[in-house]
Structures are given as structure tokens and as C-alpha cells.
Amino acid sequence: MASLTIDNVTKSYGQTQVLKGINIAIEKGEFLILVGPSGCGKSTLMNSIAGLEDVTGGRILIGNADITQAAPKDRDIAMVFQSYALYPNMSVRENIAFGLEIRKVPKVEREQEVQRVASLLQIEPLLDRKPGQLSGGQRQRVAMGRALARRPKLYLFDEPLSNLDAKLRVEMRTEIKKLHQRLGTTIVYVTHDQIEAMTLADRIAVMRGGELLQLGTPQEIYDNPVNKFVAGFMGSPAMNFVPCTLVASDRGLGVEITDGAGNPSWLPVPNAERLGGYIGKQVILGVRPEMITDPVPHKAGEAMVCEVPMKVLVTEPTGADTMLVAEVNGVEINCRINPGYSTPVGQVVPLMFDMSKVVFFDPTTEERIDRA
């Protein structure tokens, strides 16, 4: 039985459709992330689940109960807001217990619940403080505590980490993941940060312009995106998109590329059987930066791996890897290089292209053309 079912939900403000028929179902205990650029409808969808906004059409179910028309308080949902939305006039203890108090939970139980949540989140020393006396990270914890206190059926997180500084954000990300693993709660989490999406989610829903583009596990979304937008949105640095022509030769199907120094090369293509209709036509080749590396001996000789001379334009060392910028068919591409590999700027060095995971898009529709 699905824990949350979003069944063909639409939402319009006058003539503008902000949700164009969204269908998502998640199981109990699943961590779903809604991700997409600003204005893609992810926050609207979340508010619709919470009941803070009405939907124009479709149904929302929690378990088997249709809650499309239910008031927010009757949905058994807790939400963590981007701004935390802690009640400034109440202490941390009162903030956490507020929902229990409204639901007429006896005082003794309320206090037990506050203690349980406080120890879970390690905020016991803060219980008597006001939100104004807390740091950003502490407020974040209290906001989560408030959500956890009622033990609702569903948790909603609306960009909860976006107000924290980079280091704290990574810490809290891990914290949320641990919490989810420990409590096994069902979570819907909105973010525009694709790293948060990759690290936290059991499943990711990528949205754009009010449409659900793809719903899948992080790895599916990463390896097998449905279109160029999803491919470019997930992954950092982003996937390289190279315009090229598919050619059939005696070595099989492949693409021809030219680097910044004018050296032509030929690269093999996987899943050739699905690309038959595009031979001789312009396509967009999508290849992730980590698939273009310094030559590594253990891969040499594999069918989809070739060494290609490339002119180095820029190198950006990050410590663990060096990002190398080269040019292919007139566009700049990122390659992930071992820092030990010597890549003097302006020189032509051999790089290894692993083509086994490349994807292809139609240049006009931007849809995948080699997807199974």
C-alpha cells in the first residue's frame, strides 16, 4: 500500500497552470525528493500535500484516505519550513509541544514527548530558550523537533537547509539521513540542490514548469535521464553536451569529434540498435565529466573506451580531482582528471573517453533518443 499517492493533481491560478497533472506514489518509509529550478511547482505541490493550498483537480491520498479536501490539521502531516517558522514568543519546549497541546495531549505525555524529541536531536540544553537566542543550526533542529513530536504519518521538508552555511548544511544533511534511517519515516522533501537530492533520496521527482519529468532512484535519474534537462540538472559539474553527427562505419556506429586544436577523432557508441533512425543526423551526445579521464591502464582495451588527444584549455584543481576544460566540436567540456596527471595548459594530452554510459538527445526536442 502506498503511503502517499498523488493522483493526477493539477493546480491553476486563473489561466496559469502551475501543476499540470502530477502522478507520484511513494511507499511507507520512503524518502521522496522533489527537485527542480525555481518556479517548477515543487513548493506548490508540497503546499498542496500539506493542505495549505487547494488543488484544482486530481486527488491526494495518505494511505487509503482521500485527503484532497481535508483541512491541514486533519491530514496528520508535519512540515519543516525553509524559514523554520518557530513561534518567536514561545520557548523551544513550548514550540515543540504546541501541536500536542492543541491536540489535547495530557501534560505529562507532552513533557515525555518533548524529552524524547529533544534527546533524539540533542537539544535538551536549549529547551527553555526562545528561538531568537538560537543559532541557525539550532533553530533548524528545533523546527525538526516540532515536526517529530506529533509522530505524524508524513513529514514534509521545504528546503530546510537552504538558510544554513555550507558546512552546517552538509552536517545537517547527514543528520537528516541518519534520522530517516533510524525512524523509518515517510518524507517528502523539496530542494533545488541536486546534491541534497542525490544524497538523501530513495526516489527523486524532477520537475520543470509544473510537470513531473522523471521519477526514479537517484542512480536511475543520474544514469538514465529522460531528457537533456534532467541530465543537465543532476550532477556537478553538469553533464557535457556535445553536438555531433552519428556515423556508421566499419567499426560500427560512432560519432566524429574535433578537439580545440583541430584533431579529429572517432568515438564508439553503445546501444547502437536504438539509434538506427539517427544515422547521418545531428544528435547531442551527453557524457559525464567523470567518464573523460586521464588514461587508466585497467580500462584500456575495453570496447567502449578510447584514447583521444585533447588540447587543454583550463585546469581547475579541487584537491581530490582536477577539472580540466577542453573543447569538442566547438563547445567546452569538463573532464575529471587525476591530479597526478600532467596537463599543461595549451598542450595536447591524451584523454580517455569511456563511452559505455553516454546518452543521446534529439537536438530539437531535447528528449532522449537511445532510452530503452
Does 82 bind another protein (CB under 8 A)? Our answer is: yes
Residues 36-55 touching another protein, rule: CB under 8 A, are 47, 50-52
Q: Enter the C-alpha cell of residue 358.
A: 553516454
In angstroms, give the least distance from the CB of 130 to another protein: 11
In angstroms, give the least distance from the CB of 331 to another protein: 42
CB atoms within 10 A of CB 183: 14
* Helix (H), strand (E) at residue 49: helix 42-50
In angstroms, give the least distance from the CB of 42 to another protein: 16
**Choice between 77 and 123, CB closer to another protein:** 77
Residues 6+ apart with CB under 8 A from 371: 224, 226, 274, 359
- Among 8, 37, 103, 338, the residue binding another protein under the rule CB under 8 A is 103
The amino acid sitting at 286 is: G
The amino acid sitting at 65 is: A
Interface segment toward another protein; rule CB under 8 A; list 70-78, 132-140, 196-204, 297-305: 70-78
Q: Enter the C-alpha cell of residue 182.
A: 533510524
- Among 58, 59, 81, 177, the residue binding another protein under the rule CB under 8 A is 81
Contact (CB, 8 A) for 34 and 183: no
Among 186, 265, 199, which residue's Cα sits nearest to residue 235?
199
In angstroms, give the least distance from the CB of 208 to another protein: 25
Is beta strand 282-287 parallel, antiparallel or unpaired with respect to 359-361?
antiparallel
Among 100, 77, 80, 97, which residue's Cα sits nearest to residue 144?
80
Whole-angstrom distance, CA of residue 255 vs CA of residue 279: 10
- Tell me the CA end-to-end span of the chain in Å, nearest whole number: 28
Does 99 bind another protein (CB under 8 A)? Our answer is: yes
Total site size for another protein, rule CB under 8 A: 24
**Choice between 73 and 107, CB closer to another protein:** 73
In angstroms, give the least distance from the CB of 72 to another protein: 5
Among 137, 183, 180, which residue's Cα sits nearest to residue 161?
137
Q: Enter the C-alpha cell of residue 192.
A: 533545488
**Choice between 105 and 238, CB closer to another protein:** 105
* Helix (H), strand (E) at residue 324: strand 322-328
Does 85 bind another protein (CB under 8 A)? Our answer is: yes
In angstroms, give the least distance from the CB of 151 to another protein: 13
Q: Is 92 left (phi over 0), alpha (psi -120 to 50) or beta?
A: alpha
- Among 26, 34, 67, 79, the residue binding another protein under the rule CB under 8 A is 79
In angstroms, give the least distance from the CB of 66 to another protein: 19
**Choice between 102 and 331, CB closer to another protein:** 102
∠ Cα 192 197 201 (to 5°): 145
Interface segment toward another protein; rule CB under 8 A; list 57-65, 83-91, 220-228, 329-337: 83-91
In angstroms, give the least distance from the CB of 299 to another protein: 51
Binding track, positions 141-160, relative to another protein; x by CB under 8 A? -----x---x----------
Interface segment toward another protein; rule CB under 8 A; list 59-67, 74-82, 321-329, 337-345: 74-82
- Among 8, 87, 122, 133, the residue binding another protein under the rule CB under 8 A is 87
In angstroms, give the least distance from the CB of 9 to another protein: 19
The amino acid sitting at 175 is: E
Does 88 bind another protein (CB under 8 A)? Our answer is: yes
Q: Enter the C-alpha cell of residue 255.
A: 560519432
In angstroms, give the least distance from the CB of 190 to another protein: 13
The DSSP string of 23-46 is EEEEETT-EEEEE-STTSSHHHHH
Residues that bind another protein (CB under 8 A): 47, 50-52, 71-73, 77-79, 81-83, 85-89, 98-99, 102-103, 146, 150
